[in-house]
Amino acid sequence: MKLIFLGPPGAGKGTQAELTSQRFGVAHISTGDMLRAEMREGTKLGLEAKAYVERGELVPDDVIMGMIAERILKADCAGGYLFDGFPRTIAQAEALSKISDIDIVINLEVPPEVIVRRIGGRRMCAGCGACFHTSTFDGDFCDKCGAALYTRDDDKPETVANRIEVYERKTKPLVEFYQKLGLLRTVDASGSPQSVQERIDALLGDIR
């Protein structure tokens, strides 16, 4: 199974991608997580990406495509994979179509006020990268690995506003792109993670 999670910042792509990858045994490929790991390690790619990520701008397509082409060759991708936060431009989607087929694109739809609430309360683990929300977890340390939790630099309100604008301009056209290919399924992503998960499961049942 090869799938894409599409949706605006804070829609819950990472949360649902993690749950889906565990349930279906496919690799979870998050370009955002990959870039944050490169930035943490201070690699050349990470230093190049940092300026874009901190402004809420997209990292250049060729950088992202280089990462993806390498990633899908890894052993854990043999049984399928799901993309979270990729592709993000028409150019990325076209480049992807040359290196991989895709079974389904799940478009997570949420109202703007939910986006603001979800991003406003997000906390990340500096150790294992787990994601939390202050409404359901009020600790300062990760309950999985014990490392400190932090707020992402690009979750500042002014950067979030730019990320949403960039999504509307550069990523939202992918909804029509994948609709025309007959691959798009839109899911109401408001409500609890469990209720969203059930809606996604209902769509994936036919594909497995």
What residues are annotated to the active site?
13, 88, 122, 152, 163
Does 32 contact ligand AP5 by CB under 6 A? yes
Does 53 contact ligand AP5 by CB under 6 A? yes
Does 116 contact ligand AP5 by CB under 6 A? no
Report the site for ligand AP5 in 85-104 (rule: CB under 6 A).
Answer: 85-86, 88, 92
Three-state SS string across the chain, please?
CEEEEECCCCCCHHHHHHHHHHHHCCEEEEHHHHHHHHHHHCCHHHHHHHHHHHHCCCCCHHHHHHHHHHHCCCHHHCCCEEEECCCCCHHHHHHHHHHCCCCEEEEEECCHHHHHHHHHCEEEECCCCCEEECCCCCCCECCCCCCEEECCHHHCHHHHHHHHHHHHHHHCHHHHHHHHCCCEEEEECCCCHHHHHHHHHHHHCCCC
Does 129 contact ligand AP5 by CB under 6 A? no
Does 170 contact ligand AP5 by CB under 6 A? no
Nearest distance from C-beta of residue 146 to ligand AP5, angstroms: 19
Which amino acid, 77? Answer: C
- Return the residue of 2, 3, 6, 15 that touches ligand AP5, per CB under 6 A: 15
Does 10 contact ligand AP5 by CB under 6 A? yes
Does 2 contact ligand AP5 by CB under 6 A? no
Work out the widest C-alpha separation in the chain, in whole angstroms: 46
Does 7 contact ligand AP5 by CB under 6 A? yes
Does 28 contact ligand AP5 by CB under 6 A? no
Nearer to ligand AP5, 17 or 104 (CB): 17
Q: Which residues bind ligand AP5 (CB under 6 A)?
A: 7, 9-15, 31-32, 35, 52-53, 56-59, 64, 85-86, 88, 92, 118-119, 121-122, 131-133, 154, 163, 192-193, 196
